[in-house]
Amino acid sequence: MKVFIIGPEGAGKTIFATMLHDYVTSEQGNLRIKVRAGDIATKKYLAKELNVLKHGEWPNSTKEGKQITLNWIWEVSGRELSFQLADSAGQDIRSELSGEQDQLHIKQQIQDADILIILVDIYGHQSDAHEKKIENAWIIEESLKIAGEAKMILIGVSKADLIPPPFKREYWQNTEAIVSLFKEYMPEFNFEAFRRRLQSSKTSIVAFSAVSNTSNRSENGRLIRFPQNPLNPIGIDIIAQEIVRIVKKKNPSLVRKLLSIVFFWIPIIIVSLFILIALVSYILTIFL
Partner 1 sequence: MRENSPIEALIHLVQNTVAQCRVQDRGNATLIEALECFQQSRLLPIYERTQKAKKKKYVLSLVGLTNVGKSTLMEALLGVPAPKKNGPATAIPVEYHHGDNWNLRVFHKDTSSAVETFDDPKKIDARLRQLVVDVTPKAAESTKWVTVSGPVPLLKDGLVMADTPGFGAAQIGEEDGSHQKRLEDFIRNKIDRIYFCIAAGDTWAISDTEKQFYQMFSELCGHVVVTKWEGSESEKEKYRSHYQDIFPSATFIFTNAKMTEENGLQRLKDILEKHTTAEKRVHISEQEMSEAFDSFLNYMETVHNITSIPWSSFSLKSFLSSISERPEMSDISMRLKESNS
Summarize as ranges the residues that interact with partner 1 (CB under 8 A).
123, 126-130, 132, 161-165, 168-169, 185, 209, 212-214, 216, 218, 221-223, 234
Separation of alpha carbons 134 and 280, rounded Å: 63
CB of 221 to partner 1, least distance (A): 5
Q: Looking at beta carbons only, is 192 or 219 nearer to partner 1?
A: 219
Separation of alpha carbons 206 and 242, rounded Å: 10
Q: Looking at beta carbons only, is 116 or 137 nearer to partner 1?
A: 137
Q: Looking at beta carbons only, is 99 or 221 nearer to partner 1?
A: 221
DSSP string, 194-226: HHHHHHSTTEEEEE-BS---EEEEEETTEEEEE
Separation of alpha carbons 191 and 210, rounded Å: 26
Separation of alpha carbons 80 and 77, rounded Å: 8
CB of 177 to partner 1, least distance (A): 14
Q: Looking at beta carbons only, is 40 or 129 nearer to partner 1?
A: 129
Residue 86 CA, distance from chain mean position: 11
Q: Is 172 exposed, middle or buried (0-12, 13-18, 19+ CB in 10 A)?
A: buried
Q: Looking at beta carbons only, is 33 or 211 nearer to partner 1?
A: 211
Separation of alpha carbons 95 and 231, rounded Å: 32
